[in-house]
Amino acid sequence: MTTFRPIRLALALIALVIGTVPALAQQLPRTIVALYDGRATSPAASDVHLTLEMPLNWLGMRVRYADIRDTLPEIAADPEIRGILLLWQGERLAEPAALVGWIERARAAGKRLVLIGPSPVDARLHPDLHRRLLASAGMAGGGRVLGGGRTRLLHARPGFTGFERPMPTPLPGFERLRALPGSEILIRVGAGSAFADVVAITPAGGYAARDYILHAGRSGGPRQWLVDPFTFLREALALGGGPFPDVTTLVGRRIYFSHVDGDGWRSVSRIPAYQRRRMMAAEVVARHLILPYPDMPVSVAPIAADLDPAYGGTAAAGVIARALFAMPQVRIGSHSYTHPFAWGFFQDYSWPLEQAIQAGIVAPDAALGPAGKPRAVARQPFDLGQEVAAAAARINRLAPTAKRVEVMQWSGDAHPFPAVIAATRAARLLNINGGASRVDTAVPSITGLSAIGVAAGGQRQIYAGAGNEGGYTKDGTADFWAFRYADTTFRQADRPRRLKPINIYYNMYSGEREASVRAVRHLIDQARSQQIVPVTLADYARIAEGFYRVSVERIGPGRFRILDRGALQTMRFDVPADFALDAGCSIGALGARRVNDSLYVALDPAVGAPELCIMRDPPSFAGALLIQSRWPVSRLRRAEGRFDFVAGGFGKGVMLWRAVPGRWQVTARRDGQVIASAVGRADAHGLIRIVLPPSTSPLTVTAEAL
């Protein structure tokens, strides 16, 4: 029987998922198939990607897009698939029978269905298929009741609505649907004697009428959530309390990384003292934003053409690059060879057309963006090999022996096509940029925060963790002071949920103006004052890649095995406060820390398949547990009265452990040589703070109870 249960289900669900589990190892499916119509949209432009994929990622789900024009994948027997997400954009289907049959087969195999109305099936033309699709989502009924100011809210689960804004006035019309027995109705509305369950968690998954969950901004404003999308997705997909692979946190601290694109490298700074000396913006950035921060890693990505005299580059630009690359905190990226502005232009490329646009003979298409031309330098026909492998090779000529280009930092619109992403993989480069994440006064919604990445054509692009200054400065033309307020995004993407790492991402043209330099400095200083774990851009890209590959097995009640995680080293559990890591039962867990309402468990990179036990009030554990650290930690070994580990990172190695109360002798060695040794005290709670001298190369640290 359908009932209202106006209580939060979270705790019950968590207890259910963690407490009642089968004894055999069972893979926890974490892929959602999102259907779309390729005539109306693309994965990257779809509403699923732009609104739902970030919350899904936060809940540990990865999204696989399937164009309904293609043969739909056979998912019924695929243990990796958790469910289907259907948020339709485009015309209703002329021939929906195959789609409905496919969904029914998946449902029969236990896959969940989240249907966000309206349905892609026209009820008038295909009443039976319409009914069957709704039934697959756990809904029934039909017939539209139009708005017109008469719709009333009959029921809403407390705390579920008003997530970013209240329900609209007047309420929209609705499909007269009712949730099937066994459902929980989250929102019910009515008009006169008609009523509808416009948001419901059903035994099959979930249903939501789009107008009741997402507000489309007026007059060009951004979208805002009317309801809590995390709660809806968590419950509709029966995700419980985790574990969820996490890309925001490492060894108990928020991840920090930074990168600079090469745009404006050779521009002469307009800061008077530097302008007189014709100082390049890149040198100003080096002097003010990189050199003073040896504890804050940054990836610097020149445009290869700036370094190549054949393309207008200069030797002076190369001198600055060489100096930057030699700094210990600097890692190297590539920002392409000729700086494409609109990557899509080169997918189906015509050199004569590009020449005509560059010469002003052909009017540029609006899709070329504010630059109005396909790329910055067009002396030769576009060549994939040149943009990727040759650019990296050209930049590497200026790199010290121990460093090489690690990451392709996408230029321009950061919408690379599959072949160019494939080229980065062939060149053994990671790739990043795009996403333009932002949540602040101008974009007061988490819809402004991107997914971790986007997949298309068998390739995957990793998005930056935040938007760069272009989004604040009208693409580098005005309001140069404004980028300082990017820290609003960093704050709002941290609480009440940690949705993003801190990523200070800017361009070399920030060195052109005093306000820009001060804005970036402000952000770095702000980040520096927080509890962060600074990593390189490549580290983050690897962690993000790990998110897409990791799999999780349930191996017992509250016990999970983590497989194939790559560089991803944190699993998050959204569990009540009395749940904790049972370290005695776990393998490969460095420790755990509560942040917001979640428990973040740090994994030991040296352990290939860690096992985690999470339970209510676990037995006390005599061994050392890491709470948080500024440096990544690995190879933890515990013995009675002793623990040792390997760690290295940027800045001082500040870390907090829980161990047996009392005095401890802590010794740090590099290549067998003692470089620091001190006696510390673990307080009555067993908390001991260790501070190691700066060392980007790994130190072996031993702690012995005295």
Partner 1 sequence: MTRARRIHVLAAGAALLGALAAAAILRPAMLDRAQAALSAGDYAAVGRLLGNRADVAADEGLLMTAVDGRLGRGDAEGALVLLTRYTASHPDALTARRKTAEILAVRGPRSALLAERRAIARLARSPEDWLALWRDADLNADTRAEREALEGLAKARPLLLVESLRLAEIEAASGASDAAFRRLTEALPRATSDAVAPDAASLLFALLAESGRAELAYRWWQRLAPDRLAPLPSLLALQMADHDPVAAKRLVDCFMAGSQPNADRAGCR
**Contact window for partner 1 (CB under 8 A) among 163-171, 551-559, 585-593, 646-654:** 163-171
Question: 276 or 685, CB closer to partner 1?
Answer: 276
Choose, by CB under 8 A, the member of 148, 181, 360, 385 that binds partner 1. 148
Choose, by CB under 8 A, the member of 130, 513, 630, 658 that binds partner 1. 513
Q: DSSP character for 367?
A: G
166 binds partner 1 (CB under 8 A): yes
Question: 441 or 673, CB closer to partner 1?
Answer: 441
Measured CA to CA in angstroms, residue 345 lies from 58, 237, 415, 416, 425 at distances of: 33, 38, 10, 10, 21
Total site size for partner 1, rule CB under 8 A: 50
221 binds partner 1 (CB under 8 A): yes
Euclidean distance between CA atoms 366 and 476, whole angstroms: 19
Choose, by CB under 8 A, the member of 263, 494, 514, 539 that binds partner 1. 514
143 binds partner 1 (CB under 8 A): yes
Choose, by CB under 8 A, the member of 11, 146, 426, 639 that binds partner 1. 146
**Contact window for partner 1 (CB under 8 A) among 4-12, 169-177, 567-575, 580-588:** 169-177
**Contact window for partner 1 (CB under 8 A) among 294-302, 510-518, 549-557, 669-677:** 510-518
Question: 275 or 350, CB closer to partner 1?
Answer: 275
Euclidean distance between CA atoms 351 and 357, whole angstroms: 10
Q: Supply the minimum distance, in Å, between the C-beta of residue 273 and partner 1.
A: 9
Reference 631, options 245, 246, 297; nearest CA is 297
Choose, by CB under 8 A, the member of 418, 444, 623, 686 that binds partner 1. 444
44 binds partner 1 (CB under 8 A): no
Euclidean distance between CA atoms 507 and 433, whole angstroms: 12
Euclidean distance between CA atoms 666 and 653, whole angstroms: 13
Question: What x/- string results for residues 270 through 309 when contact with partner 1 is judged by CB under 8 A?
Answer: xxx--x----------------------------------
Q: Supply the minimum distance, in Å, between the C-beta of residue 187 and partner 1.
A: 17
**Contact window for partner 1 (CB under 8 A) among 126-134, 301-309, 448-456, 513-521:** 513-521
172 binds partner 1 (CB under 8 A): yes
Residue type, 647: A
- Cβ atoms of 357 and 374 within 8 Å: the answer is yes
For residue 276, with 0-12 CB atoms within 10 Å meaning exposed, 13-18 middle and 19 or more buried, which class applies?
exposed
Q: For residues 460-489, which are near partner 1 according to CB under 8 A?
A: 472, 479-482, 484-485, 488
Choose, by CB under 8 A, the member of 5, 165, 379, 689 that binds partner 1. 165
Choose, by CB under 8 A, the member of 261, 308, 440, 582 that binds partner 1. 440
- Cβ atoms of 664 and 647 within 8 Å: the answer is no
Q: For residues 598-657, which are near partner 1 according to CB under 8 A?
A: none
**Contact window for partner 1 (CB under 8 A) among 69-77, 146-154, 235-243, 640-648:** 146-154
Q: Supply the minimum distance, in Å, between the C-beta of residue 489 and partner 1.
A: 11
Question: 232 or 472, CB closer to partner 1?
Answer: 472
Choose, by CB under 8 A, the member of 8, 92, 105, 150 that binds partner 1. 150
Euclidean distance between CA atoms 254 and 530, whole angstroms: 9
Q: Supply the minimum distance, in Å, between the C-beta of residue 92 and partner 1.
A: 12
Q: What are phi and psi of 7, to 5 degrees?
A: -130, 155
Three-class SS of residue 211? helix
519 binds partner 1 (CB under 8 A): yes
Reference 463, options 475, 452, 479, 447; nearest CA is 452
Choose, by CB under 8 A, the member of 1, 70, 158, 220 that binds partner 1. 220
Choose, by CB under 8 A, the member of 291, 422, 442, 587 that binds partner 1. 442
Q: DSSP character for 161?
A: B
Q: For residues 341-370, which are near partner 1 according to CB under 8 A?
A: none
Asked whether the bond before 309 is cis by omega within 30 degrees of 0, the reply is: no
Three-class SS of residue 215? strand
Provide the token pair at 165: 């804004």
Q: Supply the minimum distance, in Å, between the C-beta of residue 124 and partner 1.
A: 7
Reference 600, options 288, 255, 217, 259; nearest CA is 255
Euclidean distance between CA atoms 528 and 523, whole angstroms: 8
Give buried/exposed letters for 24-35 (b at 16+ CB in 10 A, else e).
Answer: eeeebbbbbbbb
Reference 699, options 639, 629, 641, 610; nearest CA is 629
401 binds partner 1 (CB under 8 A): no
Question: 167 or 571, CB closer to partner 1?
Answer: 167
Query: How many CA within 13 A on the CB side of residue 45?
Result: 10
Give buried/exposed letters for 585-623 (b at 16+ CB in 10 A, else e).
Answer: bbebbbbbbebeebbbbbbbbebeebbbbbbeebeebeb
What residues make contact with partner 1 under the rule CB under 8 A? 124, 143-150, 165-166, 169-170, 172-173, 191-194, 217-222, 224, 270-272, 275, 440-442, 444, 472, 479-482, 484-485, 488, 513-519, 522
